[in-house]
Structure 1
Amino acid sequence: MDDVRPIRAKTGTNQEGASAHNRRVIMDALRVNRSLSRADLARATRLTKQTVSNIVEELEGDGLVVSLDAVRRGRGQPSTPYRLVAEGAFAIGLHIDRYLTRAVAVDLLGNVLVRAETSLSLGSPALGVKAILDLIEGVRRDLGTLHRQSEKRLVGLGVAMPGPFGLEAKDDDPWMMAAWQNFPLLETLAAGTGLEVGLQNDAAASATAERMVGAAHGLDHAVCLYLGYGIGAGLILNGELYSGSTGNAGEIGMVLSPPSSEQGERRPLEHRASLASLYQHMGMNAADPDLYQALAAASQNRDPMLMSWIGSAATDLRWSVQLIETIFDPESVILCGTAPEPLARLLIEAMHPLLPSIAEHRDRRAPRLQLGMSDPWASALGAAAEPISRTFDPRFSAILKTRDSA
């Protein structure tokens, strides 16, 4: 009898008209488990063996799935595992930050194939968007050099930038990219590239990256606490990214401190515990091109001024983790963002011990708090993962569609 091993997968449906959902479920199961046989897929997704066979053959024909050498488990017949084809699809991701923008090209598995960056004028999107289009063109050209069929398999452009979106902001507000928020960015990029363009805030983009290739891979419930110029939270709920009614879900950096006679006015969390607050504390210029290296060095040397900020920021972030756990009950909270890794590790260390929480149960599989991607390119990777997720990941709304619309 074949060994039965645990497989992580979402459930498919054998109802009429659900082929789009089932196709995405099969691809998601292969992404999470690396490789599975048709029998494994049928058992995990609760689809019929015939449905699985039909979908696998269709995916093979589309160049998205490939069979591997047959393997024997136990006394049964050999089974043929299948895996996703990395070159089956490509996407481009763009992270627009205050003083520069980064672009990456990835394959279906999230491998970064090309990356490039350029400086950006914070208050001049009309000029900045031209530099961005040139950057994207260069990345596409380099990708085409690596894979001649990449243009035919390019599924879209994902854009990440600081939120929140749709709020009134003063032009001189240092916490908001007001000029860029009011610029018709998506329409301009779509017209200039000919690609379908999607937008998410940088915290959501980092959560997408963590789900695809990082610490949230295989988790259905996780919150990514994003530490960048500001602070945000990317929410992975029931295996899908939750963005809220206006795309602003997870803007935890705007949560106000409780009133206190010592604090005076109530201040948003990101004014106290973000990288921008660290820059102010240490007298650093956020536009300095060597800022990342300077922060990494200060962290490795445990600079006294930096350590004093960490002590204060860790108190706020510890409270944030307890708040996140109480509201969302995630399997894990993942600290990620654009901070240098040595700095992020110091913060994780200072945040322990964590506050008592409903997350303290005995059957935990993942740590309450863990370090994710701490890399200035993480949001660009997550932005690139968004078109792939939009194209291939399960969307349960697909069950409600007819066969024609699916």
Structure 2
Amino acid sequence: MREIRAKSGTNHEGTSAHNRRVMIDALRINGALSRADLARATRLTKQTVSNIIEELARDGLVISEDVVRKGRGQPSTPYRLVPEGAFAIGMQIDRHVTRAIAVDLVGNILTRAEVNLPPGGPATGITVILDIIAKVRGDLARVASQSEQRLVGLGAAMPGPFGIEGAGDDPWMMEAWQKFPLLEMLASGTGLDVGLQNDATACATAERMVGAAHGLDHAVCLFLGYGIGAGLILGGELYNGAHGNAGEIGMALLHGVGGTRTPLEHRASLASFYQHMEIDPADMDVYAKVTALASSDDPKVATWIQAAAEDLRWGVHLIETIFDPQTVILCGGTPPMLARRLIEAMQPLLPSIAERRDRPLPRLQLGMTDPWSVALGAAAEPISRAFDPRFSALLKG
């Protein structure tokens, strides 16, 4: 029997759930709004808005503020999201460290912890990861009494690409972790719904929730960490691709000396900086050491910046040509001083379709440069999955 392919339909429940998400999204982007403001912004009827507001208030997700009186018109009551309406935990698994973080509905960080991962890969690391999640979960329960009842899930983030064969001992890859049944182990060990993103998409999730991509429908986050990736915000949603590997721009091959081809991330990532400057990436003080070097006049640092900026300039050109974003946001675990020097060295950007005189946003801007940004994005993912408007939320099943 041949397979019949079709998109899933929706029903009244799907439409209601979508409208509910649209309302939450409007309040997240704009802050407090009245029912009349929400009706105009969402193009829903005033009755529909009133019904949803009442429902969200009963669920503890929105609350009214003091009545506002303007001129001779009718007074209005603004409504805002309740930060304590939902909580989520996010965790980052990197090559040498794991970080866990807890946030509320609007992205406030409530507690966090980090620990070095022991050698031995997932066989020894999974216990450490479950322990740090339990610690953050316990700390969250102490600062937010309703957190367990309102915990919507656990988000995990780690370097991609996923499902690539033959990576072997490539230091840029984490093949053992990618082959490990991570989601199953986390779900069984925590009892929570678990989602997985690559680190670039997680950073884009954080930028979308509380950073430079907040309120944007078309943005690409150029993630610069141990490796390089691109988190894609397309049409207001995060795009992951067929296998979770969309945006793996660090794997793009560049021509090198003698006709060789080298991946972009081997030439312009933090890992390449570590190699160039002979820094141990497992050093707990690595962030401070990179910051100090980036703040110095070391000619060896300047040489790396100039070469990396040339390659990243090409990366921005490629992103703009393919995705036509409102802006490209440089973000990730790169210390701010090094990120700023890279952006300066990348100027002027290569000509592209993004050159418009009426641009409201710069073609390239600096976003989060924080080692915690990936864990923050991982925590934002369950919040997004539960409350953000998305096409999949409309589908039956």
> Shorter-chain TM-score category?
over 0.9
- C-alpha change, 1:351 and 1:76, in structure 2 (3 Å) is same
Query: Contact 1:36–1:83 at 8 Å: present in 2 too?
Result: yes
Q: Distance in 2 between matches of 1:269 and 1:122?
A: 27
Query: Contact 1:206–1:382 at 8 Å: present in 2 too?
Result: yes
- Where does structure 1 differ by over 3 angstroms across 4 or more consecutive aligned residues? 397-401
- Give the match for residue 372 of structure 1: 367
Matched, 1:207 2:201: no
Matched, 1:361 2:356: yes
Which secondary structure state, in structure 2, belongs to the residue aligned with residue 312 of structure 1?
Answer: helix
From 213, 217, 224, give the equivalent of 2:214.
217
List per-residue Cα deviations over 1:225-247 (Å, max 9, x = no partner): 00011000000001100000000
Q: Distance in 2 between matches of 1:38 and 1:200?
A: 35
- Give the match for residue 187 of structure 1: 184
From 137, 146, 149, give the equivalent of 2:146.
149
Which secondary structure state, in structure 1, belongs to the residue aligned with residue 163 of structure 2?
Answer: coil
- Give the match for residue 67 of structure 1: 64
- Give the match for residue 90 of structure 2: 93
Q: Distance in 2 between matches of 1:398 and 1:161?
A: 25
Q: Distance in 1 between matches of 2:258 and 2:56?
A: 59
Matched, 1:309 2:304: yes
- Give the match for residue 25 of structure 1: 22
1:70 to partner: Cα distance: 1.4
Query: Contact 1:205–1:379 at 8 Å: present in 2 too?
Result: yes
1:336 maps to amino acid: C
Q: Distance in 1 between matches of 2:174 and 2:395?
A: 38
Give the 5 Å matches for 1:102-141: 102-141=99-138
Q: CA RMSD in A?
A: 1.4
The alignment covers a number of residue pairs equal to 387
2:335 maps to amino acid: P
Matched, 1:38 2:35: yes
Structure 2 gaps of 5+ residues are 1-10
1:263 to partner: Cα distance: 4.6
Alignment identity in percent? 71
Matched, 1:50 2:79: no
Q: Distance in 1 between matches of 2:297 and 2:100?
A: 32
1:123 to partner: Cα distance: 3.6
1:305 to partner: Cα distance: 1.1
1:16 to partner: Cα distance: 4.1
1:269 maps to amino acid: L
- Give the match for residue 284 of structure 2: 289
Q: Distance in 2 between matches of 1:383 and 1:345?
A: 25
List per-residue Cα deviations over 1:215-262 (Å, max 9, x = no partner): 00011000000001100000000110000000000000000114x6x4
Q: TM-score, normalised by structure 1?
A: 0.93
List per-residue Cα deviations over 1:130-170 (Å, max 9, x = no partner): 01111011101111110111100000000000000011134
List per-residue Cα deviations over 1:262-284 (Å, max 9, x = no partner): 45311110011011111111111
Which secondary structure state, in structure 1, belongs to the residue aligned with residue 329 of structure 2?
Answer: strand
1:166 maps to amino acid: G
Query: Contact 1:335–1:372 at 8 Å: present in 2 too?
Result: yes
Query: Contact 1:36–1:82 at 8 Å: present in 2 too?
Result: yes
Q: Distance in 1 between matches of 2:318 and 2:121?
A: 37
Query: Contact 1:296–1:340 at 8 Å: present in 2 too?
Result: yes
1:75 to partner: Cα distance: 3.0
Q: Distance in 2 between matches of 1:255 and 1:67?
A: 50
1:172 to partner: Cα distance: 1.6
1:93 to partner: Cα distance: 0.4
1:199 maps to amino acid: L
- Give the match for residue 161 of structure 2: 164
From 289, 295, 300, give the equivalent of 2:295.
300
